């Protein structure tokens, strides 16, 4: 299975209640960093730009982003402290996502993957 097939298999397995949120975050990552390569690492979709990595996973609560840098995104963390889980993990439920603009998410993922 090549990377695109692996990603598609992961995306196809996302539960229907989380698929719109997964698709939204995936789309915003690629809009923010169109040069990102997409693969599977640690059994999660992983976006790579140079040495930077950002992982996107679906869990029972919604989606999680791993590998973002709190020091690079302090403004986002300050506005949404309820999403923080651990050092570099954000847990986003669909109801949380409704209060986060595309511009905020785009800035977050763009900064996370910037050199």
- The pLDDT assigned to 84 comes to 86
- The pLDDT assigned to 28 comes to 96
- The pLDDT assigned to 3 comes to 61
- The pLDDT assigned to 100 comes to 95
Output the CA–CA distances (angstroms, integers) from residue 4 to 37, 40, 44, 70, in the order listed: 10, 9, 13, 29
Q: How many angstroms separate the CA atoms of 57 and 75, rounded?
A: 23
Domain boundaries defined on the chain: 3-112
What is the torsional sign of CA 35, 114, 70, 97?
negative
- The pLDDT assigned to 1 comes to 52
- The pLDDT assigned to 2 comes to 56
Q: Which of 61, 49, 48, 51 is nearest to 21 (CA)?
A: 61
pLDDT along the chain (115 residues), means of 10: 80 96 96 94 94 94 88 81 85 94 93 89
Asked: is 3-112 a CATH 2.60.40 domain? The reply is no
- The pLDDT assigned to 56 comes to 97
pLDDT in tens, 22-39: 999 999 999 999 999 999
């Amino acid at each position: 299975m090549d990377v695109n097939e692996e990603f598609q298999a992961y995306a196809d397995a996302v539960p229907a209640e989380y698929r719109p949120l997964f698709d939204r975050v995936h789309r915003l990552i690629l809009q923010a960093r169109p040069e990102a390569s997409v693969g599977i690492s640690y059994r999660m979709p992983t976006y790579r730009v140079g040495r930077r990595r950002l992982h996107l996973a679906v869990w029972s609560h919604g989606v999680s982003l791993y590998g973002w840098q709190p020091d690079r995104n302090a403004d986002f963390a300050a506005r949404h402290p309820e999403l923080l889980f651990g050092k570099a993990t954000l847990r986003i439920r669909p109801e949380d996502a409704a209060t986060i603009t595309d511009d905020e998410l785009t800035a977050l993922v763009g900064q996370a993957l910037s050199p």
